[in-house]
Structure 1
Amino acid sequence: MSGTGVLALRLAGPLQSWGASSRFTRRTTESAPTKSGVVGLLAAAAGIERGDDARLASLAGLRFGVRVDQPGTRIRDFHTAHHGVTGASMPLSERFYLADAVFVAALEGDHALLTSLDDALRAPAYPPYLGRRSCPPTEPVGLGLHEDTRLEGVLARVPWQASAWYRRRHPTPCTLTVLRERAPGEPVTAADVLRDQPVSFDAAHRQHTLRTITTTTVPTPTPTPTPAPVPAGGSPQGTHDPFAALDVLEDDSA
């Protein structure tokens, strides 16, 4: 099928880290997924090698947006390392993460390309991760391909994806924040810029350029899906959540 579509993703895990300006020993994270990080996730799933700038360009040309469903908590960790050959100590580094965050990302563009990426997410060539290899997702990432020409519509319709424990402890918000690229022909309004538009992932000449981001809100999509019952010490049938047992223990001790 030709035309335009929108691919939706659920980005959720114990830890995420989306760096856009990390330098030297201080590795920061943005408060939401970066385009570079999400394109890298899709490129890995599709088996695109780091030096294949031509195939990367097709993914980088997709219009990108992300919705904050569960903002998470920013945490800091200290890392030590040693040189693999000499054994010499490397400088101590600070690394920042988002803990317990959930986002819905959407990419708008060529329907055939998005179909191939949707298929790749079901059988990825390389494992997906949320910004860093130490941050695997807790569930399958793909939320499916939507027959919609605008990502705004998809980000307004996909049901609220916050974790079951988060929904139990927090009231449903009236609106959710959306960070997206401006649509063609859309009037220029107040916007931010971020250096996360990927040009090359090649380790020898990794390169990113600036991207303009518009911040809006959408009403929290309803009805909110009712979480499936969780058996004691386990997960809903057909799913795997390695943290479900911890949730049960915490509720029992409350």
Structure 2
Amino acid sequence: MSRTGVLVLRLAGPLQSWGASSRFTRRTTESAPTKSGVIGLLAAAAGVERGDDTRLAPLAALRFGVRIDQPGTRVRDFHTAHHGVTGASMPLSERFYLADAVFVAAVEGDHALLTGLRDALRAPAYPPYLGRRSCPPSEPVVLALSEDAHLEDVLAGVPWQASAWYRRRHRTPQTLTVLRETAADEPAGAADVLRDQPVSFDAAHRRHALRTVVTVPVPTPIPSGGGGPQDAHDPFAALDVLEDESA
């Protein structure tokens, strides 16, 4: 009998963009990472080609959840481009991003598969990115790999991952928001239905099926000692010092 586990990722970077219904010249972002975006990140790291639906299927079957630790700020960019051959101007487009956001994402499934994905993320075949290629992560994304664990318990127990500068400037929230797929034996209840279940990433014919998602609050798990993952190196620390001196 195969063992199960949960692979936990920390998704943080200057910009992220997780589109679920973007069309034509308006490219929006969801407020949290999508399953298709995170599975795409894992598939890229594992070297799964876009048209290889057979290798994609076991990744897409993983149960997915995400916790919003630092919601970030939504920003809009007007994007201009020119045709590479003719030089003609392309249509002006709007692209939306989340700035300075931090999320804890987790996938549950076969432990051997998750071990391979963890190793692939540490030496990726293709560079990982946070929804779009212009949004690289600011640090390695692997946070932990838990054996014989459940998605709900892991997302409720991983210490709060907000950046050090964010924790200094904001009060610790009483709860954090978790968006996760329902378990097989869990009633759907007030679950939302999203067309975000990846079926194929083939550039000529991308396909997504429906999946059910529940939104639940969990008490904020404070890191022991009040510290956090970014205390060793905080690029905003110098800015804080300058602000204090000018006050």
TM-score with structure 1 setting the length = 0.91
Question: How many angstroms does 1:251 deviate by?
Answer: 4.6
Q: Secondary structure at the match of 1:184?
A: coil
Q: Secondary structure at the match of 2:13?
A: strand
The superposition leaves residues 56-91 of structure 1 with CA deviations (integer Å, 9 ceiling, x where unpaired) of 111000000000001111110000001111111000
The superposition leaves residues 162-200 of structure 1 with CA deviations (integer Å, 9 ceiling, x where unpaired) of 000010011111110000000110122101122111111
**Matching of residues 37-76 of structure 1 within 5 Å:** 37-76=37-76
C-alpha change, 1:195 and 1:244, in structure 2 (3 Å) is: farther
**Matching of residues 63-212 of structure 1 within 5 Å:** 63-212=63-212
Q: Secondary structure at the match of 1:94?
A: strand
| 4+ residue segments displaced more than 2 Å | 222-225, 227-230, 241-254
C-alpha change, 1:168 and 1:183, in structure 2 (3 Å) is: same
CA–CA distance in structure 2, aligned partners of residues 229 and 194 of structure 1: 33
CA–CA distance in structure 2, aligned partners of residues 110 and 153 of structure 1: 17
C-alpha change, 1:128 and 1:253, in structure 2 (3 Å) is: farther
Q: Secondary structure at the match of 2:115?
A: helix
C-alpha change, 1:198 and 1:51, in structure 2 (3 Å) is: same
TM-score with structure 2 setting the length = 0.94
CA–CA distance in structure 1, aligned partners of residues 127 and 239 of structure 2: 25
Q: Is 1:33 the equivalent of 2:29?
A: no
CA–CA distance in structure 2, aligned partners of residues 62 and 228 of structure 1: 26
Residue aligning to 2:222: 222
Question: How many angstroms does 1:2 deviate by?
Answer: 3.3
Identity of aligned residues (%): 82
Across the aligned residues of Structure 1 and Structure 2, the Cα RMSD in angstroms comes to 1.8
CA–CA distance in structure 2, aligned partners of residues 229 and 88 of structure 1: 45
Give the gaps of 5 or more residues in structure 2.
none
The AA in structure 2 aligned to 1:189 is: G
Preserved CA contact (<8 Å) 1:13 1:135: yes
Q: Secondary structure at the match of 2:56?
A: helix
Preserved CA contact (<8 Å) 1:65 1:151: yes
Preserved CA contact (<8 Å) 1:148 1:154: no
Count of aligned positions? 246
Give the gaps of 5 or more residues in structure 1.
231-235
